[in-house]
């Protein structure tokens, strides 16, 4: 086979910043690294890009391998390519952030796989430049969530408005006025009110809502401006 002469070749990896929401706090899914160097240290879910797959394919593959999950919301963050970010040999890594409905998969996660959820603000020291990746991912999540309804990806099919608001508050690390928030959310027309109530949080109970899938897909690219007094 012909080759481009004399050019250096590198390893290419993917790393996934996996976010979840437990109903109260934003969480981060981490694994213990399985190879040297830094074996058994906490790491993002990642792996090398194989010969017959794209980075996107690789990200989906390593997510499936480490969590059993398929069809996860996944978005390219950026490439991390400082020459010495990996001490062994040069490896460029494509960062992805992923959003997971934490409840849906909680059981199988802790059993079959040894990934663990951490509160984003209490996560352990990470290998290489993974802490930077997490910081970048949080920033991008805030940015994106202010304009597009991606946070629903972290909620179960049925959810309440107070839950939704808590998620927004967690992501943006801010308090939002209840009245203005529900007005804005309902003005998007993305939610369908259900008969059932969630009684776990209060005596009165909060009505469940579900996403209007059609409108969700149609409006995914539209600008919603969901965060008041937004300053990034």
> Closest Cα to residue 114, out of 18, 38, 30?
30
> Closest Cα to residue 72, out of 45, 98, 102?
98
Q: Are the beta carbons of 14 and 96 closer than 8 angstroms?
A: yes
- Residue 188 interacts with a copy of itself (CB under 8 A): yes or no: no
Cis peptide before 192 (omega within 30 of 0): no
- Residue 24 interacts with DNA (CB under 7 A): yes or no: no
Q: Are the beta carbons of 58 and 48 closer than 8 angstroms?
A: yes
- Residue 135 interacts with a copy of itself (CB under 8 A): yes or no: no
| Nearer residue to a copy of itself within complex by CB, 36 or 111 | 36
- Residue 182 interacts with DNA (CB under 7 A): yes or no: yes
Residues 103, 109, 114, 118, Cα dihedral to 10° = -10
- Residue 177 interacts with DNA (CB under 7 A): yes or no: yes
Strands, sheet with 206-211, edge to edge from the N-terminal-most edge strand:
159-160, 206-211, 191-198
| Nearer residue to DNA within complex by CB, 131 or 224 | 224
Site for a copy of itself in 94-123 (CB under 8 A): 94
Tokens of 143: 């940015």
116 CA to centre of own chain: 14
Mapped onto helix, strand or coil, the DSSP state of residue 24 is coil
Find the shortest distance in angstroms from Cβ 203 to DNA.
3
Judged by beta carbon distances under 5 to 8 A according to partner kind, the member of a copy of itself, DNA, none in contact with residue 179 is DNA
| Nearer residue to a copy of itself within complex by CB, 3 or 195 | 3
Within 10 Å of residue 164's Cβ, how many Cβ atoms?
20
d(CA 173, CA 25): 10
Mapped onto helix, strand or coil, the DSSP state of residue 79 is strand
Find the shortest distance in angstroms from Cβ 146 to a copy of itself.
8
How many residues at the interface with DNA, by CB under 7 A? 23
Find the shortest distance in angstroms from Cβ 2 to a copy of itself.
5
* Residues 42-81, mask of contacts with a copy of itself (x by CB under 8 A): ------xxxxxxxxx-------------------x-xx-x
Residue from 178, 189, 192, 213 touching DNA (CB under 7 A): that is 178
Applying CB under 8 A, which residues contact a copy of itself? 1-4, 7-12, 35-36, 48-56, 76, 78-79, 81-83, 88-92, 94, 146, 221-223, 225, 230-232
Applying CB under 7 A, which residues contact DNA? 160-162, 177-180, 182-184, 187, 197, 199, 201-207, 225, 228-229
């Amino acid at each position: 086979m012909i080759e481009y002469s004399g050019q250096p070749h590198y390893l290419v990896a993917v790393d996934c910043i996996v976010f979840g929401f437990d109903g109260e706090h934003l969480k981060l899914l981490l694994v213990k690294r399985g190879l040297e160097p830094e074996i058994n240290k906490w790491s993002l879910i990642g792996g090398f890009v194989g010969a017959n797959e794209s980075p996107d394919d690789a990200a989906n593959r390593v997510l499936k391998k480490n969590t059993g999950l398929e069809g996860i919301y996944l978005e390219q963050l950026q490439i991390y390519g400082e020459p010495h970010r990996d001490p062994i040999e040069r490896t460029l890594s494509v960062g992805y952030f992923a959003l997971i409905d934490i409840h849906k998969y909680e059981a199988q996660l802790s059993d079959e796989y040894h990934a663990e959820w951490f509160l984003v603000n209490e996560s352990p020291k990470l290998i290489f430049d993974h802490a930077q990746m997490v910081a970048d991912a949080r920033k991008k999540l805030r940015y994106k969530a202010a304009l597009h309804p991606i946070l629903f990806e972290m909620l179960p099919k049925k959810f309440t408005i107070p839950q939704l608001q808590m998620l927004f508050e967690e992501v943006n690390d801010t308090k939002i006025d209840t009245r203005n928030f529900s007005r804005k959310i309902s003005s998007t027309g993305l939610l369908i009110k259900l008969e059932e109530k969630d009684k776990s949080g209060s005596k009165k109970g909060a009505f469940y809502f579900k996403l209007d899938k059609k409108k969700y897909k149609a409006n995914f690219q539209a600008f919603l401006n969901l965060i008041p007094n937004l300053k990034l």
